[in-house]
Chain A
Amino acid sequence: MDSKKENLRELIEKFMDPKNTRIYLEDIEAGERILRQHPAPRPDDMLIANIKANIALHKLPQRTVTFRKRVYEAIAVAASLIIIATISLRSLYDTPQHHGPTDRGSLLQVGWWNNEDETHVQILNEVRDIYTQLEQIETTDDNYDALVLDEYKKQIIDLENRIIEFESSENNYAGTGILDEIENQINELGGSFWQDDYSNTDAFEI
């Protein structure tokens, strides 16, 4: 509530000596008049500019870091999932009779091994989840880098298509070439994130 909207007389009558309301009112008004007649110095323009700049610098890197961190997390999850998927698919492809975890495939969730038919579906679901995460960054972080995000979204879609392609071709040996391409793409995806302006670790102060 704005102080100007309250009825000072009413307050004085209610909470102080009602017989002396007029005197109290006069004293308060006279005191406040003195304060108004002697305005305090105003902050220097340079000070205000410095405060604003300090806040912008204080805030914006954090926001950028948040964006980078979230994209990186999403990409890292995507990359690890796809690496795991690749290992898994290769293992299944190389040793079709083997249905248990191997040394290379031990990173995989046990459930994935137990039902080969659902492996692709689970991987695809995870990859699509990551795509959704990237979309969420767009809606919740208005400081995101649209170009970077679009690029990663494209790559995720591409990876998704390749996994689907691999799935449809895994019964013939054409799948191996696709696996190599997927691996190369993951390597590029991981590497490009840290290139250029993303390679500056100083920018990652949180």
Chain B
Amino acid sequence: MDLNDDLAQIINGCKNGESQSFAKVIDMYSSRCYGYFYRLTGNTDVSDELLSELFVKLVEKINTYKGGSFESWLFRVASNIFHDYLRGKHRQKKAIDIRTVEAESQIIENKKSDSEQIDKLQIQLLRLDEDTRELMMLRFYSELSFKEIAEMRSEPIGTTLAKLHRGLKKLKESMES
């Protein structure tokens, strides 16, 4: 039985409401999804919340998964959760712009001395624009193909490739400087 068969069986179990199957999905994807949320928010508390929300959504929405790439489906849900979080955050702050992101980066830099270790990568990622950062994290953590990512983002594959290239290049340069 290959990985796909195993996964299909687990997802079937989820659809039948078996808690063990949900536990397996959590074991399989929690690290990647957590990494995705963490790299997008730079905050472990928020990432904890978003990850919990993701798996509750998984329970609620599993019957809407009708086959195809499960990762694609799961990360679409994760992406929606992240966007909901952003909308809530935007509502709270009225407006979030580059200055805010920079301010957040500053706060994060200041927190380096705290127990929460913020790595250099996180600081540089938060300096990228939101869309590019999300695309890069989607690609890295979901391990989806460019075709799938382009479909998910409803944009031409060339656009996805170009944005990702620009983002990664910028990241490389900022990490080296």
Chain A residues with a Cβ under 8 A of chain B: 1-6, 8, 11-12, 15-16, 24, 27-28, 30-32, 34-35, 38-44, 47-48, 50-52, 54-56, 58-60, 62-63, 142-143
CA–CA, A31 and B143, complex, Å: 15
| Contact between A56 and B52, CB atoms less than 8 A apart | no
* B31 shortest CB reach to chain A, Å: 5
B162 within 8 A of A: yes
Binding site secondary structure of chain A: helix
* B107 shortest CB reach to chain A, Å: 18
Chain B residues with a Cβ under 8 A of chain A: 16-19, 22-23, 26-27, 30-31, 34-35, 38-39, 44, 47-48, 51-52, 55-56, 59, 69, 119-121, 136, 139-140, 143-148, 156-158, 161-162, 164-165, 167-169, 171-172, 175
* B79 shortest CB reach to chain A, Å: 16
- Kindly list chain A residues whose C-beta atoms are within 8 Å of the C-beta of B167: 31
Q: Which of B22, B119, B161, B169 sits near A59, CB closer than 8 Å?
A: B22
Nearest A residue to B170, CB-CB: A31
- Kindly list chain B residues whose C-beta atoms are within 8 Å of the C-beta of A55: 19, 22-23, 26, 55-56, 59
| Contact between B140 and A32, CB atoms less than 8 A apart | yes
| Contact between A56 and B172, CB atoms less than 8 A apart | no
| Contact between A35 and B17, CB atoms less than 8 A apart | no
| Contact between A35 and B121, CB atoms less than 8 A apart | yes
| Contact between B119 and A42, CB atoms less than 8 A apart | no
| Contact between A54 and B169, CB atoms less than 8 A apart | no
Known pairs A1-B69, A2-B143, A3-B139; A34 contacts B165 (CB<8 A): no
